[in-house]
Structure 1
């Protein structure tokens, strides 16, 4: 995104879960002039264009259950008239997806710092929507942006779903099965990603399976799964699962979320 706009990107980390406003403020030294903020758990496909006449663009997407998201409400002229964080009563189904453009990054930084300095929280955290609402009330004009596809990575189920959608998008653009992968009496149902050095033996994988480099799958069936690097799976039937790196899994399981360096054996 940054390169496409003639800008330079940077990555910043939040060490403590203090909310979205605090997370953005972790990049305080780069909040100057026009800035784009994108959260790391958001993937999207869009014709990324900026409305130069607006003070900010907030990218949104319609969702069935907006209670887990910050949302925006639009006025008749299409501009954003209200920001609400995780409304329990229906306000809008336009969820903020974690991509923002601000014409004046320094103005945003000051508003975020105001929340921290005055300990203004919502739900026990410093909320970016509070800063946006304050800036809107001060007269700044925000408009919504739209995306062709929004893919979330906030939990296991949506991450696995996102993996499948990405594989669908890129299957005709990239070689997904590495030439360095070894397939022995294996069936691969596309789209699947199989990393270099991975080994699939007496198994069926796919569709929508990603297997990291040097991992092995033996005597197993995997559908809609993500397997990290250097993991070893034996005698399993898995669907809708996410397995970390350096994990060992042996036995009959159906749906799992297993972390890095974990070991789980069934009967």
Structure 2
């Protein structure tokens, strides 16, 4: 089994945080979104994981020079080969997958690094593929599927009129990765675009018309990381899952001076807490200092200095400094609000 991870998007809706860090590399409770994604998938696969192929954007889109090494390390830690490809130009979901054409072969899971999820990965041996979907209130913002007798009959990209409320969350299984590669190549060679891009939904529709049987996958939890508030909520859900699993995410070397931590929380290494109350549902990255503050339900990155604050539903980037009376803030890397 292989995992193909398109992650070239920078996440403009999550700015200012993604001005310096692409969204898939945003840290949630101590791990990047993409690391949590592939770890969660690897835990539920029935087959041996052979390779993880990551498709990143160019350095001009903010991807750090060491991104490739970090991604290969993530794959190796899961016992798999790591491969990294670059999508130089954003030409759609199908094009992103095709950038990893050398890794497309045999059974594979395609997982876009936009969201985190908890899902049932029990696969129908008779199906040619599975597409994980979740019921949503506003389907017009998503690709959706229509069902009949438990089989997917139609794929519709961002419908303007209601056809279904089952949104495709960005996780797919293909029994035949070679066939997927050939179909995307046909799309690109014949310049078949929708809204100016090569869309995966068109590939799925073509495969279906050729007789491929796709079934829906069951999603238990879908955690969005598109904007600030949903990302903070995702941090809350991840911390809850970690607590339920019995995992303690507070580093042993945290310095507590007249301070209290209310679980669940993630507190990284070399963090100092003075006269503060932290939690529940707070993540604070390594080398940070918090003084005279109360913080709940917030996502704080590394090397941050916070003083005299009362924060709720806040998201603060790396190397930021905050001193003030604001509450629900969103501060990017290297920002000072004092």
One fold, TM greater than 0.5?
A: yes
Change (3 A) 1:249 1:82: same
Aligned to 2:134: 61
TM-superposed CA distance for 1:187, in Å, is 2.3
The 2-side partners of 1:115 and 1:184 are apart by 61
**1:1-267 alignment to 2 at 5 Å?**
1-2=41-42, 4=45, 5-15=47-57, 16-75=89-148, 77-172=149-244, 173-265=246-338
TM-superposed CA distance for 1:141, in Å, is 0.9
TM-superposed CA distance for 1:93, in Å, is 1.0
State the secondary structure of the residue aligned to 2:269.
coil
TM-superposed CA distance for 1:201, in Å, is 1.4
State the secondary structure of the residue aligned to 1:148.
strand
Superposed CA RMSD in Å reads: 1.7
Number of aligned residue pairs: give it.
Answer: 264
Contact between 1:14 and 1:26, CA under 8 Å: does it hold in 2?
no
State the secondary structure of the residue aligned to 1:166.
helix
The 1-side partners of 2:197 and 2:255 are apart by 48
Contact between 1:2 and 1:8, CA under 8 Å: does it hold in 2?
no
Describe the superposition over 1:146-165 as per-residue Cα deviations: whole angstroms up to 9, x where unpaired.
02222222222211111101
After TM superposition, which residue ranges in structure 1, 4 or more long, deviate above 4 angstroms? none
State the secondary structure of the residue aligned to 2:56.
coil
Describe the superposition over 1:172-216 as per-residue Cα deviations: whole angstroms up to 9, x where unpaired.
411121111112121222211111111111222211110011111
The 2-side partners of 1:26 and 1:249 are apart by 41
